[in-house]
């Protein structure tokens, strides 16, 4: 997440926890934080990574066919399933 958004969220959280209250300026900051979270939440993965074990490089794919094969493997082999991660580009 954008560093400024994280800092702004932390600042607002501290202000609320300290009991200082929220003024009109803070509401705009809260709206900006919410908008950024909404934007990030709506992002689509650009690539998928699979981790198959220690000391092994990640396998990467943009193919949904390959992704479905990885998921199928995990479904059939739950005792040795691989970790699959969606990867995003945050600007």
Indicate the angle between helix axes 24-41 and 3-17, nearest 10 degrees.
130
Break the chain into its structural domains and give their ranges.
3-41, 47-87
Q: What is the pLDDT of residue 6?
A: 74
pLDDT at 24: 66
pTM as predicted: 0.61
| Segment-wise mean pLDDT, segments of 10 residues, the chain, 91 residues | 71 75 72 81 91 91 96 95 92 72
* Residue 2 falls in which region: left (phi positive, over 0), alpha (psi -120 to 50) or beta: beta
Tell me which residue has tokens 């950024």.
36
- Tell me the β-bridge partners of 48: 61, 86
């Amino acid at each position: 997440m954008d560093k400024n958004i994280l800092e702004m969220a932390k600042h607002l959280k501290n202000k609320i926890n300290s009991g200082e209250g929220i003024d009109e300026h803070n509401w705009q900051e809260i709206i900006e934080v919410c908008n950024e979270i909404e934007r990030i939440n709506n992002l689509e993965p650009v690539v998928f990574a699979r981790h198959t074990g220690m000391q092994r490089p990640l396998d990467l794919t943009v193919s949904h066919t390959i992704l479905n094969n990885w998921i199928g493997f995990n479904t059939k082999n739950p005792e040795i399933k691989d970790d699959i991660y969606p990867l995003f580009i945050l600007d």
